[in-house]
Amino acid sequence: MAEEKTKVPFGEKVKKFFRDYKSEFKKISWPSKEDTTKKTIMVLVAIAIIGVSIFLVDTGLSKLIELLAKIR
């Protein structure tokens, strides 16, 4: 005969979930405060550079379109 599976009570499933959660949470390797600060600054600088680049391209294209409109 086929082996019958017993139904696990909901409370047991919840307990197992939180045991597993706690076990996995302990395995997380958190970055140091200095590392987090350095990476945050790098991201902010990259955002600023990209923002300025987009602004310059947008301004340049706007001026080009104005020049082309005057030619007409």
Per-residue pLDDT tens digits of the chain, which is 72 residues long: 555 677 888 889 889 999 999 999 989 999 999 999 999 999 999 999 999 999 999 999 999 999 999 987
Structure tokens at 71: 């030619």
Question: Could you tell me if residue 35 is inside a domain?
Answer: yes
Cα(30)–Cα(1) distance, integer angstroms: 50
Question: Could you tell me if residue 4 is inside a domain?
Answer: no
Question: Could you tell me if residue 46 is inside a domain?
Answer: yes
At 47 the three-state DSSP class reads helix
pLDDT recorded at residue 2 = 55
Structure tokens at 13: 């499933």
Instruction: Residue count of the chain, please give it.
Output: 72
Which domain range does residue 66 map to? 30-72
Q: Which residue has the tokens 């947008």?
A: 58
pTM of the full structure: 0.60
Q: Which long-range contacts (CB under 8 A, 24 or more apart) does 16-22 make?
A: none
Number of domains comprising the chain: 1
